[in-house]
Every structure is written in C-alpha cells, then in structure tokens.
Structure 1
Amino acid sequence: MTHRLPQRHRLLAPLAPWALTTAAATRVGAAHAQESWPARPVTLVVPQAVGGANDTVARAFATRLSQAIGQPIVVENRVGAGGNVGTAFVARAPRDGYTLMITAQSAQTINPSLYRNAGFDPIKDFEPVMSVATAPYLLVANPKFPANDLKGLIAYAKTRPGKIDYASAGNGTLNHLLGVMLNQRAGLHLVHIPYRGAAAAATDVVAGQVPITFGSFPGVIPFVRNGQLKVIGVATERRTKLAPDLPTLAETLPGFHVNSWYGLFAPAGTPKAVVDRIAAEGAKALADPALAERLAGQGAETAPSTPAELARLTRDDLELWTKIVKSSGATLD
C-alpha cells in the first residue's frame, strides 16, 4: 500500500536535508569564527579624548588583552559630541570582532537622552561584551561647609532651599545629574552651577566659590588628601576598595548609588562565538593583579562581567538616566 504525503509535506520534504546542512554549516561557521579570532590586529575605539579616564582605562586593559590574545590592539580615539562620534562609528563597523569599543557609562546611557539624535541606539546597535571597570564618584565639599556627612548636609540644605549651590562639569554631565538625583531622592533644592569641565568645578569648590560638587575619584581625591576638600560620601552601592573607610551615600539615603562603569562593546551582529571568546580573554586579563593595581592607581576598580550582565546593566542605567535627564530638562542639541 502506498502512503501519499499531504501536498505541504511533499513540498517541504526535499528541503529537510538542505535545512539540516544549513544548520550544521552555521554551527561550523560559528565554531570556526571562535577558533580563528583573532587572526589580525584588533582596533579598540575610545569615544573620548586621549588622557581622560576612559582612555587610560582602555589603554591599560588593551595592553593586557593584547598579551592574552597574541595580537596587537590599536587604541583609536574618535572624539566629538560627547562621545557620540566614536560610538556611532562602532555601531556601523564590520561585525567581525576586529572593531571594539570601550566607553563610559555616561556616553552609552545618558547621551541618548541628551541629544535628539545621538546617532546610535545603545541597545539595538551593540553586542555587550563585558564590564571592564568602575570609577566611583564622590560628593565633596569645601572644608568650611558646615555639614560633614550626608545626614548633616540634608538637614542643613532643608533649612535653606534654593540657597545652596553645587558645581558640575557642565549641563548633562554625570555630576550635574547626580545633583538632580540627590534633589529628588532627598527632597532638596540644591542649585546647579555648570562649569566648563570637572577641573574648573573642583577648583572653585576648593576656593570656596561653590560649597559642594560631585567628582570622580581621581579628579577629587588629590584635593581630599591635601585637606582642600572633605568627603561627604561615595556614590557607590558598597564601600569602594579604593578607600574603604569612606562611607557611601546609600548608608544614609538607601538606594542612592550609581554605576559609573566602563564597558566593552562590539557592533550588533558580531557572532556570539566571537563575543564569548573576547569576554573569556577579557576576564583573564582583568584577573591579573598587575592590571588591577594599575587601574587602582587611576582611580578605577576592575569589574568583570558576562555579556548578559553588561546588557542588563546598560538597560537598567538607560532607564534610570532617561528619567533623570527628562526631569532635569537638560539637552545638548
């Protein structure tokens, strides 16, 4: 007796061997991509200027990663529009694992809200590879400021709404938005005074022109050590290994912390096998005590993560800063 297949099954039956062959070829191709990467030098784009915090972290990491993979890593600074130029360049780069980017959390998760058209989508245009490092931000004050901790600052500021200024590196910068966040979470009315750069802001707080500011660890800790500034608190979830004696702001104001991180990204569509290989080699590099010591000297802590963890971190921070930027009214267009 002859059993005839329904017409749909007769049409699909000849395709089955082809589908199996294609699936097998895909698996072989992915495995080959992982095995063959890297077959030539890798370009690591830094969307910020030479000598800045992101650049120094990237170069320290690139040196150790290059040793791990046995290929040169060329660090290329593509600056402009607060990091948007370099970020957009990587978003459109070949998806082969030979163009990567280390960028600051602010450029990846704050810029899309500050600019009407940043030139990239932080979620759709990138494959997260791993978090590389974190750099704590500190709330610091002139030594003559009456409060010595966050509890005292909140109490003092609540009796003087609109009369206490805080300095920042400019509109839309992380230290500006941290002040907005503090106002919202603590019910304060601190007045934002933007400067042209973090150094100028810190200098005026030292001089007593403005009483307080948020600053990066390497940007303000020299003033703290010289007695020219005092620390109100650190804006991290847990006490930083760089200065474990300093209290966090979250110890007084639960939930007040930010992830100021540097992440490694590849263009969207880069084969998963290649992304996983880069992440594995990157984790080995970050496990080197010499690299951790070098980064600590630059005010950063190693913070390795999986691709999935960086993806989640990016989404969470994008959601947070989109709300903060909108409430601040800050734009850079």
Structure 2
Amino acid sequence: MGTAVIVDNRPGANGAVGVVALKQAPADGATLFVASSGMVTFSPHYEKSLPYDVARDLVPIVNAAYSDVGFIAANKVRAKDLREFVALAKSSAKPLSIGSAGQGNITHAYLELFKDVAAIELVHVPYKGASPALSDVLGGHIDGMFIALSTALPAAQAGKLKVLAVVGRRSAIAPEIPTITEQGFPGVEILPWFGLFALHGTPPSITSSLAGEFRAVINAEETKKKFASAGFTSWYLAGEDFSRMIQAESETWKRLINARNLRSD
C-alpha cells in the first residue's frame, strides 16, 4: 500500500481495550482496528456493559479473513461423529462438559448455538484462554470444546483427540471432516472472521479508498499463503456486503442470547 504499518497489540477484555485505543485517535483513517466477529456481533448483546458501541464508534472497512473452527472431543467420549455425540449427550445421566476460551468468547457463542440447534444440554466450563481448555480435553477432564482447527489438528493427527465436525464450511487443511450442518444440525454456520474498522467520523472518501487498497492486498496470492500458514483463509468483503453480514450475524446472536437468557455475570 506504499506506507509503513505499525501494529499495536492491545489485548484484553475480548478486544475492548483495542477499541478504547481507537476511540482516542483522530478519525482520519490513519489508525485502524482489527476486530474479531465475536466482539462486533456477539459481545454487544452478551455483555452487560462495554466501553464501545459498534454502530456509534466503528465504521466497517473490509473483512480480511476467517479461521476454521472445529468441534473436538476427548478420546474418552464414545462418539465417532457429531450424531453419536448428540445421541450420547441426550442419553447420558451426567451432562457432558464443554470448555471454552472464556465467558463471552466466540467459542462460548458456538457452544450455546450448538446446544440450541441440537436441542441438548451441555455444561459450559469457561477457561482463561483456549490452551488450558485444550489441555483438559487432552487429559480427559472435560469432554470437548470448539477451537481453531489449526490448533487442534496436530493432536488429532497424533490420535490424542477427535475432531467431530467443523463450523460453516469444510476446511482446506482437513477437507475430510464434515460440517455440523452436513451431519444433520443446520444453524451453526457463522464463520469467525477478522475485519478492519475505522473510527466513526472518518470521511467516506478515506474508508472507500482504504477498502480498495485492501482488496488488492487481501486477494494477493502471497497474502493467501501467509494467512493459510496461520490457519486463516482470505475472505474479502467490503461496503454494504460487509455491513449486511455484520447485521445478520448480530441479529442471530441477539435472538439466541435473548431466547436462552444469556448474559455476562
């Protein structure tokens, strides 16, 4: 793009810390924010309070990529696919336990959506990050979790756990694994994406120009290869297409959260 880019990592509070930093910068397009789908579409409905308002503070520029998410199970779980897992969950005297990377994390969101579409009850066990949850799946302390497929695949290939399904669409790195929908449970199709946002008030001429610049970058073969090596797939969306996707996913999570009375503690 002909300019230097400085990456300023601001971890914490499911991305809220980064938005606060963006709000302190001028609305001139020089400072952008990389947001996950969860913090833009799930957290605003799940959290009781946030230091940002998506509609008021953020302007969507482009969606850049999505990651493959798998539903994994511990080897102790007597199920070789998702149908058998659901049947086991319905017949088990003790509810199966499913971990997440934390309350309000996108892995928690997928769990609640899966429970809803499969009409099963599962015990949610939140962790402080995906790594400790994965360790407990490997150790057989919990029964499963939703997790980035690239993170879980090495253990699955070594026979240490089972990947029962993937979310949304089959993965290029493990195309043999069927989706949740393909196994008879439609409705868990939202892909976890990562997009670029500007601060509200940034001139449309600037956001439009940025979207055009990023299109060439995101669709470049070199970018696709770098994304793939990190477990992501390039997925360019901009303008009204990106805004419509955000709105549709936000409504899906809102309906689920209201129907199941889910709120942060």
- Asked which structure has the greater CA Rg, the reply is 1
Would you say the 8 A contact 2:47–2:263 is kept in 1? no
Would you say the 8 A contact 1:177–1:325 is kept in 2? no
Q: Which residue of 1 aligns with 2:182?
A: 251
How far does residue 131 in structure 1 lie from its aligned partner after superposition? 0.4
Answering whether residue 226 of structure 2 is matched by residue 294 of structure 1, we say yes
Q: Which residue of 2 aligns with 1:217?
A: 149
Answering whether residue 74 of structure 2 is matched by residue 126 of structure 1, we say no
Once residues 97 and 291 of structure 1 are traced to their aligned partners in structure 2, the CA distance between those partners, rounded to angstroms, is 22
Instruction: Kindly provide the CA deviation profile for residues 304-330 of structure 1, in whole angstroms up to 9, marking residues without a partner as x.
Output: 112212211221222222333442533
How far does residue 74 in structure 1 lie from its aligned partner after superposition? 0.8
Q: Which residue of 2 aligns with 1:331?
A: 264
TM-score where L is the length of structure 1: 0.75
Letter matched to residue 263 of structure 2: A
Answering whether residue 251 of structure 2 is matched by residue 319 of structure 1, we say yes
Letter matched to residue 123 of structure 2: V
Q: Which residue of 2 aligns with 1:195?
A: 127
Structure 2: which 5+ residue stretches go unaligned? Answer: none
SS at match of 2:147: strand
Instruction: Kindly provide the CA deviation profile for residues 168-206 of structure 1, in whole angstroms up to 9, marking residues without a partner as x.
Output: 122222222212111111110111122222111111111
Once residues 214 and 287 of structure 1 are traced to their aligned partners in structure 2, the CA distance between those partners, rounded to angstroms, is 28
Q: Which has the higher contact order (CA 8 A, sep 6+)?
A: 2
SS at match of 1:118: coil
How far does residue 92 in structure 1 lie from its aligned partner after superposition? 4.8
How far does residue 270 in structure 1 lie from its aligned partner after superposition? 1.5
How far does residue 250 in structure 1 lie from its aligned partner after superposition? 1.0
Aligned length: 263
Once residues 85 and 146 of structure 1 are traced to their aligned partners in structure 2, the CA distance between those partners, rounded to angstroms, is 41
SS at match of 1:73: coil
Letter matched to residue 118 of structure 1: L
Instruction: Kindly provide the CA deviation profile for residues 234-253 of structure 1, in whole angstroms up to 9, marking residues without a partner as x.
Output: 011x2122322211011121
Answering whether residue 206 of structure 2 is matched by residue 271 of structure 1, we say no
SS at match of 1:242: coil
Answering whether residue 99 of structure 2 is matched by residue 167 of structure 1, we say yes
How far does residue 80 in structure 1 lie from its aligned partner after superposition? 3.0
Once residues 156 and 78 of structure 1 are traced to their aligned partners in structure 2, the CA distance between those partners, rounded to angstroms, is 41
Q: Percent identity?
A: 29
How far does residue 161 in structure 1 lie from its aligned partner after superposition? 5.9
Q: Which residue of 2 aligns with 1:235?
A: 167
TM-score where L is the length of structure 2: 0.93
Would you say the 8 A contact 1:108–1:122 is kept in 2? yes
Would you say the 8 A contact 1:198–1:219 is kept in 2? no
How far does residue 112 in structure 1 lie from its aligned partner after superposition? 1.7
Structure 1: which 5+ residue stretches go unaligned? Answer: 1-68
SS at match of 1:77: coil
Would you say the 8 A contact 1:133–1:301 is kept in 2? yes
How far does residue 113 in structure 1 lie from its aligned partner after superposition? 2.5
Would you say the 8 A contact 1:135–1:301 is kept in 2? yes
Q: Which residue of 2 aligns with 1:114?
A: 46
Q: Which residue of 1 aligns with 2:239?
A: 307
Would you say the 8 A contact 1:150–1:233 is kept in 2? yes
Once residues 94 and 202 of structure 2 are traced to their aligned partners in structure 1, the CA distance between those partners, rounded to angstroms, is 50
